Amino acid sequence: MAHIFDPTTLREYDIRGLVGDTLTGADALAIGRSFGTIVRRAGGSRVAVGYDGRESSPGFEAELVKGLNAAGVDAVRVGVGPTPMLYYAVYELGCDGGVMITGSHNPPAYNGFKMLLSDRPFFGSDIRALGEMSAAGDWDSGEGSHETVPIMDRYVDRLLQDFDATTPFTIAWDCGNGVAGPVVEKLVKRLPGTHYVLFPEVDGTFPNHHPDPTEEKNLVDLKACVAEKGCDFGLAFDGDADRLGAVDGQGRVVWGDQLLGILAEPVLKDLPGGTIIADVKASQALYDRIAELGGTPLMWKTGHSLIKAKMKEVDSPLAGEMSGHIFFKHQWYGFDDGIYAGIRLIRAVDQLGGSLTALKDAMPVMVNTPELRFQSSEDRKFAVVTEVLARLKAAGATVNETDGARVTTPDGWWLLRASNTQDVLVARVEAHDQAALERLQGELNAQLAESGVEPTVVGH
């Protein structure tokens, strides 16, 4: 017996597809069978399983558990909750791995599977190997058991373990009908101050707005609540709550790299000289700020699994991405957790004078584009980046090749990289003023044109 996955579902960081089309119950069963075999052959025997609020998630969870059991692995079912709650369960319950069933911030018709082993992320070549194992039917057989372990209350206790802020902030929390809701409702009862929780009901159809805080249009309700209730700031989460978005008291977005600059300050007070990692899309202002605080800034590749692996390698206490994935090893476990990052933001604002608005005001004003995406086929996207790099080097440009091409000039920078998850090239431009931004964007467009890429931005 064997099972072949639709090749479009085996992505760099997870397995994800369109429910009933590219992703079915048979896939869930095969993922359980294959991942269970991998864990068992590594000497493990227990895998934690969690799922999000999508309508297809309970069915997928049942099939996944069957697959794990058929491979002779015991399943520890922690139920509906955030992806980071599942990660926490792996550590807290001493499991050998974990599988989270989630479509993250994808539309309701999608779902997927994020996996981790107890000692490292599971991605890239691991996922490709799982696909090959399934296609070959190379599975162990056995009779595993399954048990249900409620973990949410323990997770909330752990979120608050080191909480030391005393300022009674007024905070709006936008759960976006994702799985953050039940956790946030428990959490705010135990926090000082006044709290307004928006859309805490878990509903996989996302009736109010799409749960992706990196797109400003999804923060309209949060901004309105902050204005109406006179909040100090607002927090928002994506569908599976592993990413954080924030707005200050004036409703201005505090972007992922700006959040990291704030969160780094208390960490570096505790751990002077610590290495703080950010992805290649982050502002130069962030790297300068980390250095100013006495830390060691490290620019790394975009992708939560890649960042986690790098953190482990360099013993970093804190890392983050523009996308709102924030990873604390300091007083936490090293995984990305939007809700925990929110708690740490409350603590940091309390320590740094009590006003997120003032912290935003103090940041250098940069002019930048949002993330730009240009259509490019799977077989061309990496080749385009290689061609651009060759031309830039020949011209003597200052280029960082960590993840694509990041070109630095005296008045700003631009980035071009191939997406690991879609058939697009991703770009970003940042400068000190509008004129410089337009000049740098012109450089980027010229490079794209030279490699035959239409400089037309495609939607997310």
- Both 339 and 421 in one domain: the answer is no
Q: Taking 60 as the threshold, does the pLDDT of residue 460 lie above it?
A: no
What local confidence, expressed as pLDDT, does residue 8 receive? 92
Residue 318 forms part of a structural domain: no
Q: Taking 70 as the threshold, does the pLDDT of residue 459 lie above it?
A: no
Could you tell me the CATH number of the domain that includes residue 218? 3.40.120.10
- Both 139 and 200 in one domain: the answer is no
Residue 418 forms part of a structural domain: yes
What local confidence, expressed as pLDDT, does residue 155 receive? 98
Q: Taking 90 as the threshold, does the pLDDT of residue 119 lie above it?
A: no
124-133, 332-341, 361-370: least confidently modelled range: 361-370
Q: Long-range contacts made by residues 303-308, C-beta under 8 angstroms, separation at least 24? A: 303/12, 303/13, 303/123, 303/279, 303/420, 304/13, 304/121, 304/242, 304/336, 305/12, 305/13, 305/121, 305/122, 305/123, 305/124, 306/123, 307/277, 307/279, 307/336, 308/120, 308/121, 308/334, 308/335, 308/336
* Cα(420)–Cα(124) distance, integer angstroms: 10
Among the three residues 150, 174, 204, which one is the final residue of a domain in this structure?
Answer: 150
| pLDDT tens-digit map of 249-302 | 999 999 999 999 999 999 999 999 999 999 999 999 999 999 999 999 999 999
* Residue 145 falls in the annotated catalytic set: no
Residue 432 forms part of a structural domain: yes
What local confidence, expressed as pLDDT, does residue 138 receive? 98
CB crowding 196-217: b at 16 or more within 10 Å, else e: bbbbbebbbebebbbbbbbeee
Report the domain count for the chain: 3
Residue 311 forms part of a structural domain: no
* pLDDT band for position 455 (cuts 50, 70, 90): confident
* pLDDT band for position 420 (cuts 50, 70, 90): confident
Among the three residues 335, 361, 387, which one is the final residue of a domain in this structure?
Answer: 361
What local confidence, expressed as pLDDT, does residue 458 receive? 64
Cα-Cα-Cα-Cα dihedral sign, residues 90, 91, 97, 99: positive
| pLDDT tens-digit map of 421-451 | 788 999 999 999 999 999 999 999 999 999 9
- Both 377 and 334 in one domain: the answer is no
Residue 123 forms part of a structural domain: yes
Q: Taking 90 as the threshold, does the pLDDT of residue 378 lie above it?
A: no
- Both 114 and 161 in one domain: the answer is no
- Both 349 and 382 in one domain: the answer is no
Where helices occur in 240-283 by DSSP H, the ranges are 256-270
Domain limits at 55?
A: 7-150
- Both 201 and 96 in one domain: the answer is no
User: Mean pLDDT over residues 55-66, rounded?
Assistant: 98
- Both 134 and 212 in one domain: the answer is no
Q: CA torsion, points 316, 322, 325, 328, in degrees to nearest 10?
A: 30
- Both 142 and 71 in one domain: the answer is yes
Residue 283 forms part of a structural domain: no
Residue 282 forms part of a structural domain: no
* pLDDT band for position 49 (cuts 50, 70, 90): very high
- Both 215 and 337 in one domain: the answer is yes
**Beta carbons of 336 and 327 less than 8 angstroms apart:** yes
Among the three residues 361, 376, 407, which one is the final residue of a domain in this structure?
Answer: 361
Average of per-residue pLDDT values in the chain: 96
Could you tell me the CATH number of the domain that includes residue 436? 3.30.310.50
Active-site pick, 34, 56, 57, 104: 104
Q: Which of 152, 130, 149 is nearest to 139 (CA)?
A: 130
| pLDDT tens-digit map of 208-224 | 999 999 899 999 999 99
Q: Taking 90 as the threshold, does the pLDDT of residue 401 lie above it?
A: yes
Residue 136 forms part of a structural domain: yes
* Cα(203)–Cα(290) distance, integer angstroms: 39
- Both 180 and 202 in one domain: the answer is yes
* Cα(310)–Cα(327) distance, integer angstroms: 11
- Both 96 and 63 in one domain: the answer is yes
User: Mean pLDDT over residues 47-58, rounded?
Assistant: 97
What local confidence, expressed as pLDDT, does residue 454 receive? 85
Q: Taking 80 as the threshold, does the pLDDT of residue 457 lie above it?
A: no
Q: Taking 80 as the threshold, does the pLDDT of residue 121 lie above it?
A: yes
The pair of three-digit structure tokens given for residue 354, joined into one six-digit string:
């009590």
- Both 185 and 46 in one domain: the answer is no
What local confidence, expressed as pLDDT, does residue 370 receive? 85
